[in-house]
Structure 1
Amino acid sequence: MSDVALSRRLLAEGFGTAFLLAIVVGSGVMAERLSTGNVALALLANALATGAGLFALIQMLAPVSGAHFNPAVSLAMLLRGELSARDALAYGAIQIAGALIGVAAAHAMFDLSLFSLSQHPREGFSQAWSEFVATFGLLLVIFGASRQGTMSVALAVAAYIASAYWFTASTSFANPAVTLARALTDTFAGIRPSDAPIFVLAQFVATFAAVFVGRVLFPLSGEDSHIGRRHRPDARH
């Protein structure tokens, strides 16, 4: 991505993260309203919409910015030497700003206050552990799929997130920007602000763990470095 101006990459990251949150929150509101109290059906609709939206956003924006939409992903790419510290900080800041814009946009579409503190409790070890597992798995999926190109990343990430909605107790936030923004929506997708810090901590701890394991499974140097580097210009999600 070094050949793409930072301003364009930041615009893509902000735009993509905003749309991601609009999808997550908006589909959650719609699902809750239409499911007539069936929480399983609402979660299924929310998961499918998020997976489909992620696929489209990654396909569209990966060639511009790498389509991170997630400070944990940007940190992982910094630790793997694929993103500079300056760019990683800028990515994180614009991702958080975009996430907040996305929440406001979703609320406006459903005639809700632009922001409202969530009352949805998500506390305890099981929730934090779920976020560790969800984030750790997401990053390994990205490291592995990126060796095959953008289409593989888009499909793999979309499928993983849709499934992680169901196999984790937390419904797989796996994203610090998403977590912070979802604390400001008192809807189906929300998280109580007091529960958000442990989610973010678990996500960042998982990032370091995933980078360590990823260096063993998917090295960027050594005998198979030519494989790891072949698709890096358009697959750094």
Structure 2
Amino acid sequence: MEIIRIDSLSKKYKDSDYYSVENLSLQISEGEVFGLLGPNGAGKTTLISMLCGLVKPTSGSFTIAGLSYRESAMAIRRLIGVVPQEYALYPTLTATENLVYFGAMYGLKGKNLNQLVEAGLAEMGLSKFAHKKIGAFSGGMKRRVNLLAGILHDPKLLFLDEPTVGVDVQSKNAILDFLKERNQSGMTLVYTSHHLIEAQELCDRIAIIEGGKVIAQGTPQELIHTTQDARNLEDVFIALTGRGLRDVI
């Protein structure tokens, strides 16, 4: 059963000469770990922003869990969680205060919310830092709290934008183990990353996006086997998108 269906979706920002996402169609099945990969400026963030209801499409449509974004935007927001690349945390608040705040935004409250916060911090190895201000945390610790903030309400579908960027090996492993457990419990993950070996190990299927369009999709092994001389997903990525630098402002 598909949880996301995208039909001919496009986005062109005001005053832009080109489409950030152009006529893109894609289906993602319930329970998958689905990777959206592409070079800088390929359209990944714009696509996720549209699916999360943060950016309005120029044309086309999509549904999440069978719900149309045009008619059921609020219902969709209750089904999804978002873990952005930038920390969505208040540095002057403690880890507990941040999580209670974000949990309340999802309608959680009282004893249930406090128990979820305590359990999440314990699972991430952060219990002893629960009442320390986020501003004093290392990058890996912030990443772990950032992840907890996006999943406290137990979403059906979780969007992750570079969830392990800039973290130590221990934090990376803790985050990936946490995500695998949530996926095994039925949560669908849509994941973007520049860590291609990580994506190869984590994702059930992958779509590679270039110029706002899907240029290849399949399981990691399918993409490797159908790309000449490719030994891993990084070789596939270079073969399809080239070696040119993709600096963007």
TM over 0.5: no
The structure in which a higher percent of residues are strand is 2
With the shorter chain as reference, the TM-score category is under 0.3
Give TM-score scaled by structure 2 length: 0.25
The structure in which a higher percent of residues are helix is 1
Larger radius of gyration: 2
Give TM-score scaled by structure 1 length: 0.25
